A and B are shown apart, each in its own frame.
Chain A
Amino acid sequence: AQKITQTQPGMFVQEKEAVTLDCTYDTSDQSYGLFWYKQPSSGEMIFLIYQGSYDEQNATEGRYSLNFQKARKSANLVISASQLGDSAMYFCAMRDANFGNEKLTFGTGTRLTIIP
């Protein structure tokens, strides 16, 4: 069974600082995908970044980057130059590569608050 662990229930970060949100995962599969989503108070789950288990380079999307350490089963999200609009819940999620298994397993989330 897959498991995602996010050990930081909440974080407070000064505006314009970089922030790292931790995520570790557990799976016996060799092929899988890792996701980060942002959920503001409105409820929508906003896709941020994706990393495939066979991708050799860390994924980046604008101010977001994923620090993928496969041997440590770690997939931390790094947000550079944080902004007030980054305040939200952040979820790490995993999907395995078995055909027909589009299910995501989510972590419990980290509530990020950016302080002006």
Chain B
Amino acid sequence: KAGVTQTPRYLIKTRGQQVTLSCSPISGHRSVSWYQQTPGQGLQFLFEYFSETQRNKGNFPGRFSGRQFSNSRSEMNVSTLELGDSALYLCASSLDRTLGELFFGEGSRLTVL
């Protein structure tokens, strides 16, 4: 059974650019959530999608956005990149309506120069 797949794994951008990260959840999982991990702030929740609808949103500026497609794959976009956006972006998937396991991908490591 394939796990959560995130692409790209590594990327370098410059300030002001935008970036799109992709996440394919485990087959059958309909909930996809995104987290940002930085040394200073730790792991912070960005947003969560289920059935193409954003159900939850963390405390991030509007430059951070996302979407989910009908096959449950999700993308997140960060516009007008800032140095502080350099982070590991982790995607997680789970079966909905359960308190069971939540599985993460390997992450996309973004460096903003």
Contacts and interface: CB of A to CB of B under 8 A. Distances in A.
B58 interface: yes
By size class, the interface of chain B is 20 to 34
B101 A47 contact: yes
A10 to B, nearest CB: 14
Per DSSP, chain B at the interface is strand
Given A104-B35, A104-B45, A47 B109 contact: no
A103 B43 contact: no
Nearest to B99: A33
Given A103-B45, A108-B42, A109-B42, A44 B102 contact: no
B72 interface: no
B106 A100 contact: no
Interface of A: 31-33, 35, 37, 42-47, 50, 52, 91, 93, 95, 97, 99-106, 108-109
